[in-house]
Amino acid sequence: METGCMGAKPWVNLVLVILLVPLLSQSVNADSGASLSMAGSRGATFVGDPPHVGDSVDLSVLVHNDGDTVGNAYMVAIIGGVETTGSVIEIGPGSSREVSSSLSPIANGSLDVSWSIESNDSVISTNLSGNSTLLVSPAQELTLSEPLYIWTVEDGLRVTFETTLDSGRNRSVLLVVDGTKSSQTIQLQQHALMLSPGSRMHELVLGSPDISGLQIEVRPDGWSAPQPAIVSASISAPAIDASIAVNGATPSLPSAGDVVVIGVKVDNTGTDVIADARLRLIDAATGYVLADQILTDMGEGTSNDFDVTISPWPSGNPVVIRAVVTAEDLSIENTLSIESAVTVEDVAGISIPWVPIGVGIVVGLILSFAARSAFKERTSSFGLNNPSKRTVAKKGVQEDDRKREVECPECSRSLLIPWAYDGRARCAPPCSTEFTVPAPQIENAVEEVATEVLTESEDSLSDDIDLIKQDEPEKLFSMSTTDLLDCPSCSQTLKAGLDLRPVLIRCPACKTEFEAREG
């Protein structure tokens, strides 16, 4: 009986040990290790501004460690069927830490988010899990306008464009400007910008790059846009060019020495401003600058009319005017041939002195009579016994015969000049050669003047004195010491001044020609 009792005690003890082990284990866990629970009553919250599609947003829970050792915790969140796991956070005994997970919604609207706090070494309270609602806005669009540019030699390339950001958050962007030429791309500038919702104008100064195209891109920095914001444009470097036209002269038929106004029109046909330009009018025959004028600045596509004064007007016919416009990187010209009235003048442009020439004609006439008398006296020594008669050949003289022809030594062109002129003369264009005109031979000039004077007074002098040339060796003569003498043929008394003798005269009665001598 006693033996049986002793045999039953070990079995009872084993049953008691099995029943007490769970209770003892719970007591140990409650008193030692990490125990995590929610701190406060706010639950899970979204950090930051309401997100847009493409943004990231953090879901966060404040977790407290009630245990006596360090515990680890992390959040697992599911949004739109996509699970994300946050970073592992260490929480010290008696401390509280934020445990979060980053969410990236791909659709807009009210989205359900389920979350829970997990740990691989701590006791997790049942209040560390739940569901939240996230309101997601549509993605913010970023657009660029077509760029406008102005490219001048003075200021270089200036580009303006506009960015537009939809309503929502302020956004950080990266502005990248590239130049293109052929297949090459050159980065010109790069800027980090912060854009506010709305439109904003931008201006870039890019210098004078060697490019033919431009590309501007605005890249989201830390966020995403529905589509890229990129624009391109073809550009061209500034071209300085112009055209010039000479519109004629006032008066329309100028003479040498006149004050003449030339109309000139200049058109800016390039893509840049023409600044500090100079207009010159040049005589094409001589290369002389006839006028020099500074032009006002001309913008792209503009035209200006100028009246340029030339004084004095050059000689020649026609006068070819070269109109030349010069500026930096520009030189253009045009020509105009202008008909002009022709006058013969010396190089200094002095008109022919007609009054002194007239006086010279009178003096020459006197010399002519003296020369004729001396010539007749010389020829009378050959014999004067065989009278003869010779008709004086008269030359028809027009009113403008007091001129003579000279030949240009360069082009052999005949030029008509006053008979008594000597000095410098210029051939008509296009030759325009300057040469010296010699004085006329005295004998020929005197004879020509005498012939003209005798012709003009033919009616009054034809019956008195007529100069003739002696063809026969002998001539009749009559001598006296007074102004009166007798005709050797008919004895008619005639009057011939002593100061004119010797002179060949004709008797008005018998028409006999004889020489009147003194003696």
Are 446 and 368 spatial neighbours (Cβ–Cβ below 8 Å)? yes
Instruction: For residues 404 and 397, give the distance between their C-alpha atoms in angstroms, rounded to a whole number.
Output: 13
Kindly provide the residue ranges of all beta strands, DSSP E only, lying in 339-475, ordered along the sequence.
403-407, 414-418, 423-426, 434-437
Measured over the CA atoms of residue 45, residue 48, residue 54 and residue 56, the dihedral's sign is negative
CATH topology of domain 34-136: Immunoglobulin-like (2.60.40)
Instruction: For residues 516 and 505, give the distance between their C-alpha atoms in angstroms, rounded to a whole number.
Output: 7
Instruction: For residues 188 and 217, give the distance between their C-alpha atoms in angstroms, rounded to a whole number.
Output: 12
Instruction: For residues 480 and 517, give the distance between their C-alpha atoms in angstroms, rounded to a whole number.
Output: 7
Instruction: For residues 331 and 333, give the distance between their C-alpha atoms in angstroms, rounded to a whole number.
Output: 7
Chain center to CA of 58 = 61
Kindly provide the residue ranges of all beta strands, DSSP E only, lying in 104-228, ordered along the sequence.
109-118, 122-124, 129-136, 142-144, 148-152, 156-165, 171-181, 184-195, 198-207, 213-220
Q: What is the DSSP string of 56-84?
A: -EEEEEEEEE-SSS-EEEEEEEEETTEEE
Amino acid at 440: P
Q: What is the pLDDT of residue 73?
A: 92
Give the pairing type, strands 289-294 and 242-250: unpaired
Quick count: other Cβ atoms within 10 Å of Cβ 246? 20
The token duo for 410 is 């360069």
**CATH number at 142-234:** 2.60.40.10
Give the pairing type, strands 260-268 and 278-283: unpaired
Chain center to CA of 479 = 92
DSSP state of 482: S
Task: Say yes or no: do domains 34-136 and 242-338 share a fold.
Answer: yes
Q: What is the pLDDT of residue 194?
A: 94
Q: What is the pLDDT of residue 383?
A: 42
Please name the helix (run of DSSP H) or strand (run of DSSP E) that holds residue 250, with its range, or none: strand 242-250
CATH topology of domain 242-338: Immunoglobulin-like (2.60.40)
Q: What is the pLDDT of residue 465?
A: 45
Give the pairing type, strands 34-38 and 57-65: antiparallel
Give the pairing type, strands 45-47 and 57-65: antiparallel
Tokens 């030949």 -> residue: 407
Q: What is the pLDDT of residue 238?
A: 86
What residues of the chain score a pLDDT lower than 50?
A: 1-8, 23-31, 343-350, 379-400, 443, 461, 463-473
Instruction: For residues 347 and 285, give the distance between their C-alpha atoms in angstroms, rounded to a whole number.
Output: 14
User: What's the alpha-carbon Rg for the chain, to the nearest Å?
Assistant: 62
DSSP state of 508: T
Predicted model pTM? 0.49
Chain center to CA of 96 = 76
Q: What is the pLDDT of residue 377?
A: 52
| Percent helix / strand / coil, the chain, rounded to 5 | 15, 45, 40
Amino acid at 200: R
Give the pairing type, strands 476-480 and 484-486: unpaired
Amino acid at 138: P
List C-alpha distances in Å: 313 to 184, 243, 262, 342, 349: 58, 25, 11, 12, 10
Quick count: other Cβ atoms within 10 Å of Cβ 135? 12
List C-alpha distances in Å: 111 to 37, 128, 443: 26, 20, 129
Give the pairing type, strands 242-250 and 434-437: unpaired
Q: What is the pLDDT of residue 219?
A: 92
Instruction: For residues 314 and 348, give the distance between their C-alpha atoms in angstroms, rounded to a whole number.
Output: 11
Are 169 and 49 spatial neighbours (Cβ–Cβ below 8 Å)? yes
Tokens 């060796």 -> residue: 473
- Reference 152, options 216, 231, 236, 242; nearest CA is 236
> 122 forms bridges with which residues in the sheet?
34
Residue 428: CA atoms inside 13 Å, Cβ hemisphere, count?
A: 17
Domain layout of the chain by residue ranges: 34-136, 142-234, 242-338, 354-518
Instruction: For residues 196 and 180, give the distance between their C-alpha atoms in angstroms, rounded to a whole number.
Output: 30
Are 392 and 467 spatial neighbours (Cβ–Cβ below 8 Å)? yes
Are 327 and 275 spatial neighbours (Cβ–Cβ below 8 Å)? yes
